[in-house]
Amino acid sequence: MSDSGDVRKLTVDLGLLQKYNRPGPRPANSRTAPHFHSGFGPADFRREIIETNAADDAPDLSLYFHFPFCRSLCSYCGCTVVVTQETERIDNYLDDMKKEIDLLAGLIRPDRKAVQLQWGGGTPTYLSPEQIRDIFGYIRSRFTVADDAEIGVEIDPRCLSPDHLSTMRDLGFNHVCFGVQDFDPQVLKVVNRVQPEALTRQVIQESRSLGFDSISVDLIYGLP
């Protein structure tokens, strides 16, 4: 999509698609799913953190925070999600997240800076702006965040109040990624994710106006 709003035709190299058409783990994290199995328990996780932290050349931190809540389930979704309307479940989850943050932060030297913070889901913006401010402030109070850190969030445009974007920009988020997946209304209906194109354009323009450094969209090839 250009700055003028025109949609440009995308040319795809079929040879390139065939080259990488291979099954593999979801690449969302530095440790993909096969690294975590029944033989890898809490003690192993703790030991790896302590050993890495003790190294003279301990790397900077990249922290991912998962917010699993959604108002509905997209039929293609393979993420860990919880479909709920119960705000109490969200409050309880955030309380537990704070406890886990405390456990992790207590193992990490304060001189190790977080250079990447990423919020995913689920739908992070299913949280209210007040909840976002609260948990983000808690994260910043427990970790040393680099001044130039990349702070990103995945957003469902259908679950976004006027205050969400401005709140996240005020807090220091500088990258937003909008779940779009497809622009074909019939495809979106089939996968249970009806999202008008006008809404997508609107939230992208609002993000530009607020000055986010980086704006991206998720698209899925091959739906439904």
Local confidence band at 182 (pLDDT 50, 70, 90 cut-offs): very high
Burial of 15 (0-12, 13-18, 19+ CB in 10 A): exposed
pLDDT, tens digit, for every residue of 57-86? 999 999 999 999 999 999 999 888 999 988
pLDDT, tens digit, for every residue of 92-120? 999 999 999 999 999 999 999 999 999 99
What is the three-state SS of the chain? CCCCCCCCCCCCCHHHHHHCCCCCCCCCCCCCHHHCCCCCCHHHHHHHHHHHHHCCCCCCEEEEEEECEECCCCCCCCCCCEECCCHHHHHHHHHHHHHHHHHHHCCCCCCCEEEEEEEEECCHHHCCHHHHHHHHHHHHHHCEEEEEEEEEEEECCCCCCHHHHHHHHHHCCCEEEEEEECCCHHHHHHCCCCCCHHHHHHHHHHHHHHCCCEEEEEECCCCC
pLDDT, tens digit, for every residue of 139-180? 999 999 999 999 999 999 999 998 999 999 999 999 999 999
Average pLDDT over residues 37-52: 89
Local confidence band at 129 (pLDDT 50, 70, 90 cut-offs): very high
- Which backbone phi and psi does 93 adopt, to 5 degrees? -65, -45
Whether pLDDT at 7 is above 70? no
pLDDT, tens digit, for every residue of 8-43? 677 888 888 888 787 765 555 555 666 677 888 889
CATH placement of domain 81-224: 3.20.20.70
Instruction: Indicate the domain borders of the chain.
Output: 81-224
Please report the pLDDT score of residue 13 as a whole number. Answer: 86
Please report the pLDDT score of residue 12 as a whole number. Answer: 80
Please report the pLDDT score of residue 196 as a whole number. Answer: 96
